[in-house]
Chains A and B, each alone.
Chain A
Amino acid sequence: MTEVKNLEELFQAKIDAEQKIEPKDWMPDAYRKNLIRQISQHAHSEVVGMLPEGNWITRAPSLKRKAILLAKVQDEAGHGLYLYSAVETMGTSREQTIEDLLSGKAKYSSIFNYPTLSWADIGAIGWLVDGAAIMNQVMLCRTSYGPYARAMVRICKEESFHQRQGYEIMAVLAKGSPEQKEMAQDALNRWWWPSLMMFGPTDANSPHSAQSMKWKIKRQSNDELRQTFIDRTVQQAEVIGLSIPDPDLKWNEASQHYDWGAIDWTEFNNVVAGNGPCNKERLAARNKAHNDGTWVREAALAYAAKKAKRKAA
């Protein structure tokens, strides 16, 4: 018992000294579990996130936009790969992690349970959803677990391109025809609140946050990140002449931040509980891809085994 306590003290001392925890290092069980949950959720979000955007690849309104969108969604698949690898360093296989997604046991970011209804939604996702994800991911570049931090550094390099291309789509629409501007405003209206929910519950309602901060898995609270995102995004909306769908939004001279209206947490909880507009479709699509791919993966394994056998013979 005293030994574990000593190990825990050493572990915390290491974290306090800003040293990275590596896969072979001793770590408390709860730290490992917490990270496996967080990184796998993050990996699933990258992969499920491909679906709402992939939905518009065949319909992108110019060839340039089609190429950018293909490259963007492809990046997200790559992010999924890096993150599944990071989970594997903690001793959970990619197959098991994916199995948990397919069975509905594991969660992914609820934002991807909203539908992409117009081309402007592709702009709104890049601008707002990738924009919100970046706030979180920049922080995670300094997270205490080494493999996760390093995966994040690679991912962040690509994310700023994602945000930029989304904002650019919105900017072009906003200065286009009245119909295009309306499309952009409608997308902003629908994606704004779900984007704010991406930062998670308020600090007061976020039970794991304090421990995650102590372990330096997180370094900023949900509310801090949300505030930074709002301050930045409100100005970006102004520049392109779109309005944020929040009547309570106003600049607070004293705090030097924007005040904003109440988030509908009932909706958030509903979507997390599986009742979002597309929860069933997303999970069904992942399951279908996995099941349809079974014979392909089996063929690849069988061929590799035959080849290895022939080589040995």
Chain B
Amino acid sequence: MSNALFTYTLRLADDLLILSQRLGEWCGHGPVLEEDIALTNRALDHLGEARNLLTYAGQVEGKGRTEDDLAYLRMERQYTNVKLVEQPNGDYAHTMVRSFLFDAYHLPLMQALLKSTDEQLAAIAGKSVKEATYHLRASSEWIIRFGDGTEESHQRAQAALDNLWTYTGELFESDAVLEEMTKAGIAPDIAAIKESWSKTVDQVLSEATLKRPADAFMMTGGRKGLHSEHMGFILAEMQHVTRAYPGAEW
């Protein structure tokens, strides 16, 4: 049980940590100053939630690992985030579509986790729901602006959607860990989250006059630590200072 809870908590954390890492790359390079601030805010919120989850995962594991041990000293194969969040920023359409597809999953997940039988996860979700609501609203607005903006922005948004769609299946995968967590009332029913996600996606895409891609082949592997080639570079960049000075305090 504690093993599955550790794995489950880590999955929640890794999605947010890696997405935050990607969003942090934008800092200072946003399309307009207000968006620079908004992107950094998003990165900060995700990082804050990831830190709470990593700290909790360390406690559940009971081996004394801290948030930093888990973030900086795990190897790629031990990272369990979905491949969606490790995809490169690309243009602003790719960044916003990636966030939108994630936000539309993250918000109902956090809302459902409020009722988790695990008090810690429920408490962490309690802190995140407000931010997650705001994130989804903001990314939805950008999708609509892009889709219903200029011809160029429409094309860019549709291209991003078509490129990233293959990474959405992974958000709703189930396995023995998730089944155990769901049975224990710790994790919500993932099918219900998918339903909510799908509804949001349809609603926003229709207002944006964008086309929902067909569910063709879906990428998989992230939850088992099998990532895209991007992941090694993300971790190399993120971890190198910490690893170069083993045991140092910062």
| Distance of A306 from chain B, by nearest CB (Å) | 7
Per the bound structure, the CA–CA distance linking A285 and B28 in Å amounts to 9
Interface presence of A179 (CB below 8 A): yes
Residues of B within 8 A of A80 (CB): 33
Q: In chain A between 278 and 295, which residues have their CB closer than 8 angstroms to a CB of chain B?
A: 285, 288-289, 292-295
Mask: chain B, 27-40; 1 = CB below 8 Å from A; 0 = not: 11111111111001
| Distance of A165 from chain B, by nearest CB (Å) | 12
Per the bound structure, the CA–CA distance linking A179 and B248 in Å amounts to 10
Q: Please give the residue numbers on chain B whose beta carbons come within 8 Å of chain A beta carbons, in ascending order.
A: 21, 24-25, 27-37, 40-41, 43-44, 47-48, 50-51, 54, 67-68, 71-72, 91-92, 144-146, 148-150, 152-153, 156, 237-238, 240-242, 245, 248-250
Interface presence of A78 (CB below 8 A): yes
Interface presence of A172 (CB below 8 A): yes
User: Are B241 and A67 interface neighbours, CB within 8 A?
Assistant: no
Size bracket, chain A contacts: 35 or more
User: Are B44 and A67 interface neighbours, CB within 8 A?
Assistant: yes
Interface stretch, picked from A33-41, A52-60, A246-254, A261-269, is A52-60
User: Are B248 and A180 interface neighbours, CB within 8 A?
Assistant: yes
Residues of A within 8 A of B249 (CB): 172, 176
Mask: chain A, 169-210; 1 = CB below 8 Å from B; 0 = not: 100110011011000000000000000000000000000000
* 30 CB < 8 A contacts A-B: A50-B28, A50-B36, A57-B25, A59-B240, A62-B72, A62-B250, A63-B51, A64-B250, A67-B47, A67-B48, A70-B40, A74-B41, A77-B28, A119-B250, A169-B250, A172-B249, A173-B250, A176-B249, A285-B29, A292-B29, A292-B91, A292-B92, A293-B30, A298-B153, A299-B145, A299-B146, A302-B153, A303-B144, A303-B149, A306-B148
- A70-B149 contact, Cβ under 8 Å, with A61-B242, A77-B37, A78-B37: no
User: Are A74 and B44 interface neighbours, CB within 8 A?
Assistant: yes
User: Are A296 and B153 interface neighbours, CB within 8 A?
Assistant: yes
User: Are A50 and B27 interface neighbours, CB within 8 A?
Assistant: yes
User: Are B250 and A59 interface neighbours, CB within 8 A?
Assistant: no
Contact of B245 (CB < 8 Å), options: A73, A180, A295: A180
| Distance of B220 from chain A, by nearest CB (Å) | 27
| Distance of A49 from chain B, by nearest CB (Å) | 9
| Distance of A286 from chain B, by nearest CB (Å) | 9
Contact of B241 (CB < 8 Å), options: A73, A119, A292, A297: A119
User: Are A303 and B145 interface neighbours, CB within 8 A?
Assistant: yes
Per the bound structure, the CA–CA distance linking A177 and B128 in Å amounts to 37
Q: In chain A between 62 and 97, which residues have their CB closer than 8 angstroms to a CB of chain B?
A: 62-67, 70-71, 73-74, 77-78, 80-81, 84
Per the bound structure, the CA–CA distance linking A26 and B156 in Å amounts to 49
Which residue of B has the minimal Cβ distance to A304?
B145
- A289-B29 contact, Cβ under 8 Å, with A74-B41, A303-B144: yes
Per the bound structure, the CA–CA distance linking A66 and B50 in Å amounts to 12
Residues of A within 8 A of B40 (CB): 70-71, 73-74, 77
